[in-house]
Structure 1
Amino acid sequence: MKALKFNDVWDVRNIQVPELECIDADDVIVAVEVCGLCGTDVGIITGDYPVAIQGTTLGHESSGTVVKVGQAVTRFKAGDRVVINPTYSCGQCRMCQTGNENHCERKNGTEAGVSYDGTFADQYRAKESSLIHLDDHVSFEEGALTEPLSCTITGVDKLNITHTNIRACVIGAGTMGMLYLWSLHLRGVKAFMVEKNEHRYQFSLNALPEGTRVYRDFSEAMREEYGSDEEKLDLCVDTTGYLAETVFDRLAPGGKLLNVALKDSYAKLDILKIADKSLSVIGSIDSLNNSFERAYATIRDGQIPVGKLVSHTFEFEDYEQAFTMVGCNIQGKTQQPITEPNCKVLLKIPANA
């Protein structure tokens, strides 16, 4: 079978590997149908997020069809359509015992696409407990967005939203930005969006919640939304990591800045303001508190039209073209601006193709 292996920074190859078999009694072998390209994958390939173990198969946003089950598996059988939760937690370590399962101390060697062979491959070896049945009316493509939406729900939970009449914005119109915008919308919060890339901006126009606006510039947005770019915000989600200082200076008392960008960069924040204005600077990553199951239910019930966010689907063999679409030029070993409208880009991975 084929698998997209990470060998080193900018060294990613589609190679043939042996088909998978069940090892433990609760193992399930899934034939991967589609897998989404994530910013984590880009960070691993470019070296901006140096977490992956060399030789690991990349990919973790996926859905597929069960082909084999271990002898103790009772909830799934061959032919079942499933969504794959790639996040492991042992439930026993200190992080798990303090409610931080997304930072489980024992997940090294179990994290799909990072330290455990992921889902840019014909097959993936999952645990029975990490799978959810994919309803017939939900496409494989829609199901593959469960994982990024689960990370979004984790972040929104951390914001502890208690009022809906707040001023809010989301920075970045990539997949995570769009999912945060929709998730806030479901909580009754009307946020505006800022996206400076013209192509991402254009794509977002047809995928926004009703009544939501997107702008190319933060100061312009503040003027248009609130009458002055000196007005203050109550909440900002920054998915890019580039506007932390700018947004921090515009937070109202009690304001919250949520950063979900995996960027190797630094920002200077006024410590006095944090205390004097009761400000919160929050980070968030991965799934937590049943957010994966909640994310799938949100997609299943049509509360967020995730299908609108899928802009491109490439065949597995065209993975380099797919990554170039999101600004990661593997052949040229460089990151480059996005040159056409896109949001979520998927690889189609039919088994034995």
Structure 2
Amino acid sequence: MKRRDSALNFLKLLCAYLVDNNIEIKDVEIPKINDGEVLIKIKCALTDGTDLKAYLRSHHLLKNGPFGHEYSGIVVESKSHKFKIGDEVFGLNSAYCGNCKFCKTNRENLCLSLKDNLVLGAYAEYLKIPKLVVEKNLFIKPREISFKVAPIIEPLACVFSGIEKLNLSGYENIIILGSSSIAIMFFLILENFNVKIYSRSKKRLELLKESPLFEKLERAFIYEIDNNYDVLIDTTGSYDLINKVLNNPPRGSKILLFSGMEGDKFLTFNQSYFHYNEIDILTSFHHKPSSVKKAYDFLMEKHKLLEYLITFEFEIKDIKKAFELMKEGKALKCALKFEK
């Protein structure tokens, strides 16, 4: 974009007001980019559980303002040597500084500059990508990867980061709590293990009835939690369910709390039981370079299967419908587009 067309001085940009859990479509100016940054025209943005939390009950990283962080699009303005106008791209929602104590100890997901390098505002016609993200976590989209599925790299990277924390040997029995798109991503990555997916109902499973995923998922779904597991992965963030699980986990088991709960919730467990039975409680937040690389490779290999996790498409004006379907368990992920 060599000059700014006066007709493009304003655009529709979605803003989330978390104080009253409202979503409004607003007309705001096209973001101006600085050295090293790029501006992309959004082709597809995907909904996810983090944005759903922000919509329903707030999120500590998503304050009032534009939101949406899973994106793909076309570069329309560039002040970076890495990308030119017309490049088809997709990317992550943050990047790491490389200099702080966490980056230097391979914990880039906790980078002290993380909040300064977030990509927020993907539910919009145009999106500015910060310099560090452009340098480290923005990618050229291969032709065989659709704009629709490319944004799924971000949650995939978070899932791989969680799996890295588990340090699996290959022989574990695994239970995944929840049946969201995140839970199914865990399943697809870990399907060579003995993996079960705990769900309260078949509602989300039925969404995939016409997909090649259905049969293997149907065999994996369970509706009661037994105590025959070595690893348990929570993707629900449900306070009551997690507390129930912590009541009597199997000897030597690992419990990964992947999804964040509400900030005022405190878990309780018997420290003596956990100590003498060596129960490990692990947490996982965000993504880091090693998990991004794995997510990229997995996306390149499994993009056709992953596309089945995007169960509905909406125009941006109908974004509330998308989140309401997700809230009711009637959608996994939704694709939001400006162009029909």
Q: TM-score range by the shorter chain?
A: 0.7 to 0.9
Deviations 1:251-286 (A, max 9, x none): 333211111122213332121122211111111121
Q: Does residue 69 of structure 1 match 2:88?
A: no
Q: Whole-Å Cα distance in 2 between the matches of residues 147 and 138 of structure 1?
A: 15
| 1:309-328 equivalence runs, <5 A | 309-327=309-327
| 1:166-181 equivalence runs, <5 A | 166-181=172-187
Q: Does residue 143 of structure 1 match 2:150?
A: yes
Name stretches of at least 5 consecutive residues in structure 2 with no aligned partner: 1-10
Counterpart among 251, 259, 264 of residue 261 in structure 1 = 259
Q: Which residue of 1 aligns with 2:335?
A: 346
Alpha-carbon RMSD: 2.2
Q: Which residue of 2 aligns with 1:86?
A: 93
Q: Which residue of 2 aligns with 1:123?
A: 126
Greater Cα shift, 309-318 or 236-245: 236-245
| Aligned partners of 1:69 and 1:78 also within 8 Å | yes
| SS of alignment partner, residue 293 of structure 2 | helix
Q: Does residue 29 of structure 1 match 2:34?
A: no
Q: Which residue of 2 aligns with 1:334?
A: none
Inter-CA distance 146–271: structure 2 relative to 1 (3 Å threshold): same
Q: Which residue of 2 aligns with 1:11?
A: 22
Counterpart amino acid of residue 122 in structure 2: T
What is the TM-score of this pair, normalised by structure 1? 0.84
Name stretches of at least 5 consecutive residues in structure 1 with no aligned partner: 223-230, 328-336
| SS of alignment partner, residue 117 of structure 2 | coil
Counterpart among 242, 254, 262 of residue 244 in structure 1 = 242
Counterpart amino acid of residue 259 in structure 1: L
Q: Which residue of 2 aligns with 1:332?
A: none
Q: Whole-Å Cα distance in 2 between the matches of residues 281 and 194 of structure 1?
A: 19
Q: Whole-Å Cα distance in 2 between the matches of residues 111 and 307 of structure 1?
A: 25
How far off is 1:171 after superposition? 1.0
| SS of alignment partner, residue 86 of structure 2 | coil
Q: Which residue of 1 aligns with 2:6?
A: none
How far off is 1:190 after superposition? 2.4
How far off is 1:174 after superposition? 0.6
Q: Whole-Å Cα distance in 2 between the matches of residues 8 and 315 of structure 1?
A: 22
| Aligned partners of 1:192 and 1:212 also within 8 Å | no
Q: Which residue of 1 aligns with 2:307?
A: 307
Q: Whole-Å Cα distance in 2 between the matches of residues 108 and 307 of structure 1?
A: 30
Q: Which residue of 2 aligns with 1:228?
A: none
Inter-CA distance 149–268: structure 2 relative to 1 (3 Å threshold): same
Count of residue pairs brought into register by the alignment: 319
Counterpart amino acid of residue 191 in structure 1: V
Counterpart amino acid of residue 181 in structure 2: T
How far off is 1:4 after superposition? 0.6
Q: Which residue of 1 aligns with 2:63?
A: 53
How far off is 1:198 after superposition? 3.6
| SS of alignment partner, residue 236 of structure 1 | strand
Q: Which residue of 1 aligns with 2:7?
A: none
- Decide which structure has greater helix share: 2
Counterpart amino acid of residue 153 in structure 2: T
| SS of alignment partner, residue 294 of structure 2 | helix
| Aligned partners of 1:120 and 1:349 also within 8 Å | no
Deviations 1:1-58 (A, max 9, x none): 111112342132111111233212x11111111111122112222234243232x210
| Aligned partners of 1:48 and 1:263 also within 8 Å | no
| Aligned partners of 1:312 and 1:345 also within 8 Å | yes
Inter-CA distance 197–348: structure 2 relative to 1 (3 Å threshold): farther
Q: Whole-Å Cα distance in 1 between the matches of residues 293 and 93 of structure 2?
A: 12
Counterpart amino acid of residue 301 in structure 1: E
Inter-CA distance 209–101: structure 2 relative to 1 (3 Å threshold): farther
Q: Whole-Å Cα distance in 2 between the matches of residues 79 and 11 of structure 1?
A: 34
